[in-house]
Amino acid sequence: MTPLLRIQQLTYNPPKRWEFLSPRSDFVLGPVDLHVNESETLAIIGSNDSGKSLLAKLIVGAVKPSSGEIILNGQPIGTHQSKARANNIRMVFRHSAESLNPGISVGSMLDEPLRLNTQLSPAMRLEKVMQTLSLVGLMPDYYYFYKHMLSDGQQQRVALARALILDPQVIVADEPFAALDPSVRSQTVNLLLKLQAELGLAFIFISHNLGIVRHMADR
């Protein structure tokens, strides 16, 4: 079976900075090889500062790799194919609250990826936003809410809705439960598993919580 997503020999070597006439570089990563199949959860575990978050950013295109290849559905995704990557590989950040813009409503946050990456009309975008809110267990009224009106768990659901809004095939979740209390964490884990079963999503799940990894991950 051809993997949904394959990473081949992915590396990152940051540009060198000269300090006191001596070359200095930051974190170096790779080469990394991995693959994930449809409806599968692949866990990436490691200690703090081991490069897990950097790998997540390389996969979603937030950081440009030095070398290597990212292959989706058997087709390489080049650095110039940002829209294809944005549509198909989405990210849930470690601290979801920090990734939400406090100055705009939830509806505007979810509409923005559709406006930038699709040709949908305003009416069709509104319908898609409402469908996605329902998908993550939020009522239509949340369209008008702002970040400060949301609990931690609701903020996490909005972040997940933003990741799902373009109907991706792969979700990269970087320590998505780090800031959540145990009860909210449990609800979010169950929601992710439910969405995976319904939508056939592949998850690349980055964590150092072995208990959650054992519960969620296939590999």
Q: What per-residue confidence (pLDDT) applies to 144?
A: 97
Which of the four pLDDT bands, split at 50, 70 and 90, describes residue 24? very low
Taking the C-alpha atoms of residue 150 and residue 57, their distance in angstroms, rounded to an integer, is 26
Q: Comparing 42 with 78, which gets the higher pLDDT?
A: 42
- Packing angle of the helix pair 106-117, 122-135 (nearest 10 deg): 120
Give the residue among 14, 46, 13, 42 at the shortest CA–CA distance from 30.
13
CA distance 10 to 165: 27
Tell me the C-alpha distance between 162 and 82, whole Å.
17
Encode pLDDT of 178-216 as tens digits. Answer: 777 888 888 888 889 999 999 999 999 998 888 888 888
Q: Which residues pair with 10 in a beta bridge?
A: 32
pTM of the shown model: 0.86
Q: What is the pLDDT of residue 81?
A: 63
Where do the domains of the chain lie?
A: 5-216
Neighbours of 218 (CB within 10 A): 13
Q: Domain 5-216 belongs to what architecture?
A: 3-Layer(aba) Sandwich (3.40)
**Tokens encoding 113:** 């990826």
164 DSSP assignment? H
